[in-house]
């Protein structure tokens, strides 16, 4: 009987490891896509994304008093690095074990709604979250 229990425990651990890796890959893919499709002027929007589990304060930066026409690749890289830090803090294995793997992607910049739907602009907006939902569900 102990051999069966040992085998079961080992298999369960391997399945948990595989699930954790798949969740992490999906989150990294989402972070990469999110920052790549985000527009950049001052960089405030793309660096205001955060991935959380409901706790903590979402990241939000204003574009006020920031230099315009920033290098998109640099600012998108900064935004991606911030999201990677968020993912590293999630403790995915514990969340999977507890069955509580709900995470939230947010952008708490003051102008996030304008970027999304062009609320105060003459354009229709960039629809960043709509595009993310279409791709990742």
Is the pLDDT assigned to residue 124 strictly greater than 70? Answer: yes
- The pLDDT score that the predictor gives to residue 9 is 82
53-102: pLDDT as tens digits: 876 677 878 788 788 999 999 999 999 999 999 999 988 888 888 888 88
Higher pLDDT, 2 or 6: 6
Query: What CA–CA distances, in Å, run from 56 to 41, 53, 72?
Result: 27, 8, 28
49: its two tokens = 């994304």
pLDDT, tens only, 40-51: 999 999 999 999
Taking alpha carbons only, the member of 36, 16, 134, 17 closest to residue 83 is 36
Residue whose tokens read 């304060």: 57
What angle is formed at CA 42 by the lines to CA 41 and CA 45, rounded to 5 degrees? 85
Q: What pLDDT is recorded for position 21?
A: 92
DSSP string of 83-119, one letter each residue: HHHHHHTS-HHHHHHHT----EEEE--TTHHHHHH-T
Distances (CA, A) of 120 to 13, 23, 38, 69, 80: 51, 36, 18, 20, 27
14-49 tens-digit pLDDT: 888 898 899 999 999 999 999 999 999 999 999 999
**∠ CA 22-29-105 to the nearest 5 degrees?**
100
End-to-end CA, the chain: 43
- Give the model's pLDDT for residue 55: 67
């Amino acid at each position: 009987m102990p051999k069966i229990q040992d085998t079961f425990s080992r298999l369960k651990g391997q399945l948990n490891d595989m699930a954790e890796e798949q969740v992490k890959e999906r989150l990294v893919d989402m972070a990469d896509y999110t920052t790549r499709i985000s527009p950049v002027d001052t960089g405030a929007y793309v660096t205001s994304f955060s991935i959380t589990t409901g706790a903590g304060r979402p990241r939000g930066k204003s574009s006020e008093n920031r230099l315009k026409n920033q290098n998109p690749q640099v600012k998108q890289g900064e935004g991606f690095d911030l999201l990677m830090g968020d993912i590293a803090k999630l403790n995915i294995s514990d969340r999977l074990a507890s069955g509580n793997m709900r995470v939230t992607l947010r952008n708490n910049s003051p102008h996030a709604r304008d970027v999304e739907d062009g609320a105060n602009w003459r354009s229709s907006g960039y629809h960043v979250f709509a595009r993310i939902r279409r791709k990742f569900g």
